[in-house]
Structure 1
Amino acid sequence: MEISKPVATCVRAAPNEQVADTKQETRGLVRTRDIDPDSVKVVRKLLAADHEAYLVGGCVRDLYLRRKPKDFDVATSATPEQIRRLFRNSRVIGRRFRLVHVYFGPKVIETSTFRSAPRSDDDDLLIRHDNEWGSVEDDARRRDFTVNGLFYDIETGRIVDFVDGLHDLDAGVIRTIGDAETRFREDPVRMIRAIKFAARLDFQIEPECWAALLNCAGDISKCSRARVLEELYKLMRGGASRRSFELLHVSGLLAHIWPPFVELLDDPTPAPSRLGDAPPHHPAMRLLRHLEALDDYVLETRQDIGNGVLAAVLFAPFLADEELQGARQELDRQVDDLMAKPSVYLGVARRDRELARQIIMAHRRMALPSRGGRRRSSLVQRQYFHDALIFLGISVEARGGDGSELRQWQALAEMSREGPVEPSESRSRRKRSRRRRRTPEDGRAPTHRGRRRPEAGQ
């Protein structure tokens, strides 16, 4: 992943010193109009309570690169309990890594306390608790990569850099803060994050960092499947999932994260050393095409995508076109096989597995020729239809369809938003003829089911 980028000269923080004076050097590098106003409110309220507080991490990185940050995080000297007392619209979350979510409607400003290096009493470097408070410099040196170790001072307009993060941003390099192997063994999920940032930012991974990643790949199995899967979902929502999965495969991480994936690659043809070298109809190539189509959708719409759609993107490529369009019973069996082993091993939640199943089964109905308005309108009313429509668009692009089915379903969805979708005349519901009520003239008294006939005079 060789990237040719000019390396600009930038001011670096000296050890134990909070940047001599970078206001001149960083003036104008962060446009204040791009900063979320609610994050500014959080910082200023913490400052007013005599705490240190900065914007931190990915938002500072993205602001510097002129990219729109997805989230704004705050780091402060205040403890979680002090933060909670300051903000009524907040709650403390996490045990391994305690922090505070400050809510502004649906928006969350994640606010964490400065941390220092946790104490370890054994040779196992894996961090199981990370709640040792420290200074702003301690916090910078506890972060994963130099490009994420930057702080932005709202009051002075300075970028505070203790870890040469500005230098690496200018150079286009992903580098760990401190010894790479130590940092990966402390938290193996950092290896997935290294790949995610390299792919998303189109940066190169620093050689020592890449060598450590290859050496520590097996440690990813020490992490909970829920954390690993959540990082994969974030990776898939970032607009560079194809490149990320190629790097996950080449690094050996994917084999440890999802062993059934490798088994599926080995059947019916040998797994390629690089995903992109697989034959056109190999599951690996179908997966890459789906990931590329997902990236196009993410970058074009900027919409958040649910876990069910992401799970369907992962699993559906292992079904051949003829299986997706074949008999329902056979597709049922194939989807059951996928959900029974690969999705469970990956740790996909039962709710998301069921939603992915519904999406894949709906895809069969949506991709087949129309079977009448009644069935189509009933599908549009399903709760999972919107997700199924997103997946249909991704699948059409990945499989090279002409898009006619997608346009038909999009038109039907638009009609349903305007009002109930009327079934076509040929499939309209027949009115049931009402049974004539029997009378005494028919020779039998009418029956009164469910209640007793009133007696005369009652």
Structure 2
Amino acid sequence: MNDLDQDQYKKSKGKLTEHSIDYGLICEGALDVISQLHATGFKAYIVGGGVRDLLLDLHPKDFDIATDATPEDVRQLFDNSRIIGRRFRIVHVYFEGGFTEVATFRAANTASVNTQGRIIADNTFGNIEEDAFRRDFTVNALFYDSEKNQILDLVDGLQDIDAKLLRVIGDPDLRFREDPVRMLRAVRLATKLNFEIEKSAKDAIFRLGCLLSEVPSARLFDEMIKLFHGGFGLKTYQALREFDLFRHMFPLTEQVLEQEANTFTNLVKLALENTDERIRSGKSVTPAFLYAVFLWGPMRKLSKQLELDGITPQVAHDASVKDTILSQLPFTSIPKRFSYSMRDIWNLQYRFYRRRGKRAYQLFEHDRFRAAYDFLCLRASAGEPVDELCEWWTVFQDVDDATRRKMTRAPQNRSSKQGSRANPRLSKKKTYH
């Protein structure tokens, strides 16, 4: 036991309160898992974000379970389960329509850490009190007994929910050093829930943001998805920049944003608004699109520099695409399926100018046409001089074949004309963004 507040731990007896939580919002599979654990003599609670969201009248995506059963106990009890994880082993119990995550109570301060204080192994089991004080935020440390309809609160999480306050359990400096990703999680949760981050945690984030450089880039890619594909991408982005965390994930992007606060700033904002709207509408989104947006500014800046050095535009573009993606990889990884899509989106921006004859039809049939077209029109809306190009392709999608043939026979002006800005519109082609 250490700065997870030993004195507070000794004094805490917990607050057990009854709550009329709507059972209809709880995953039936998770309730069945709890019932079977109880029937076998184990303690089991719904814990974490599921409880928090239920209390806030939100619809939880996940229902995690905490128990005194070991992973081996759980695996033996449920045939349709498997143990996963290295740093801390948990069990996924599968049922029709999904799975629930079952974790054994963790002991207090038994984790192995590296020289920077980051947890690298954490497989010692404990009791419910110790487990509560090992969790990240008070609002995530509430244990719900679904059979008794009671909530066990050992950390004043209910009080913080009422106050709309996001408070770190224990010393924020220590907790963020243990796992720097908690800083990103704090920003994401505060944005999603419209909570205020408690002052000591805020101060620690400003001091320790640089620790994100020690997090594996593959893990930061996963966090990037959570940050920007949760329906609050724009607000999250603004908060990340406010806390000076965005630069540690996208340093090339941050550099351009600071030096060239112009159309690129608008493009990022519009793209995040567009992504949030798509998520709210139940439409598909892909990380490739936001990566293409975030790195468009750095890529174009490098390409222009190479052209000034006398390199031809096409060669400069190809070199800039490759170099920009490679430069981003140490910070957040980009799986190849997404980096290929990024390249297509960028490359098609220049093919949009080629509208004579078969070229227009070939481009229209390209797998990434939809995403590239949306990207083009966002550029127009952001203030880039591609208004006429966006408008032409918007019309091309909506007219009949005879009109398309006339459009592709007409002389095309490669220079971009300033015209009315066309917003992205739906076409009959498959949506990739």
TM-score, normalization by structure 2:
0.76
CA distance in 2, matches of 1:173, 1:406: 48
Q: 1:423 to 1:42 in 2, by over 3 A?
A: farther
**Deviation (angstroms), 1:154:** 1.1
Task: For 1:357, give the aligned amino acid.
Answer: R
**Deviation (angstroms), 1:102:** 2.4
CA distance in 2, matches of 1:145, 1:306: 30
**Deviation (angstroms), 1:334:** 3.9
Q: 1:343 to 1:225 in 2, by over 3 A?
A: closer
Question: Is 1:284 matched with 2:265?
Answer: yes
Quote the RMSD (CA, aligned, Å).
3.8
Match of 2:339 in 1: 353
**Deviation (angstroms), 1:130:** 1.8
Match of 1:433 in 2: none
CA distance in 2, matches of 1:301, 1:410: 22
CA contact (8 A) 2:113 2:121 kept: no
CA distance in 1, matches of 2:39, 2:357: 65
Match of 1:455 in 2: none
Q: 1:129 to 1:265 in 2, by over 3 A?
A: same
Question: Is 1:109 matched with 2:105?
Answer: no
CA contact (8 A) 2:248 2:331 kept: no
Match of 2:117 in 1: 125
**Deviation (angstroms), 1:81:** 2.0
CA distance in 2, matches of 1:83, 1:411: 57
Report Cα offsets for 1:7-54 as digits up to 9, x if no partner: xxxxxx99453534x11xx22xx2211112222222222222222112
CA distance in 2, matches of 1:15, 1:410: 68
Q: 1:409 to 1:44 in 2, by over 3 A?
A: farther
CA contact (8 A) 2:253 2:295 kept: no
CA distance in 2, matches of 1:150, 1:341: 42
Question: Is 1:17 matched with 2:9?
Answer: no
Report Cα offsets for 1:321-358 as digits up to 9, x if no partner: 9x99xx87664444334223124542222332122222
Match of 1:47 in 2: 38
Question: Is 1:86 matched with 2:67?
Answer: no
Q: 1:258 to 1:293 in 2, by over 3 A?
A: same
Query: Which segment drifts farther, 46-55 or 230-239?
Result: 46-55
CA distance in 1, matches of 2:215, 2:159: 31
Task: For 1:50, give the aligned amino acid.
Answer: G
Question: Is 1:74 matched with 2:53?
Answer: no
**Deviation (angstroms), 1:148:** 1.2
Report Cα offsets for 1:66-120 as digits up to 9, x if no partner: 1122222222222222222222322222111221222335633222221122335
Question: Is 1:56 matched with 2:56?
Answer: no
CA contact (8 A) 2:278 2:285 kept: no
User: Which ranges of structure 2 fall in alignment gaps of 5 or more residues?
Assistant: 1-8, 305-312, 408-433
User: Which ranges of structure 1 fall in alignment gaps of 5 or more residues?
Assistant: 1-12, 270-277, 416-420, 428-458
CA distance in 2, matches of 1:339, 1:107: 35
Query: Which segment drifts farther, 257-266 or 180-189?
Result: 257-266
Q: 1:200 to 1:330 in 2, by over 3 A?
A: same
CA distance in 2, matches of 1:409, 1:62: 46
DSSP-derived class of the 1:346 partner? coil
DSSP-derived class of the 1:128 partner? strand
TM-score, normalization by structure 1:
0.72
CA distance in 1, matches of 2:171, 2:253: 31
Task: For 1:61, give the aligned amino acid.
Answer: R
CA contact (8 A) 1:59 1:69 kept: yes
**Deviation (angstroms), 1:405:** 7.2
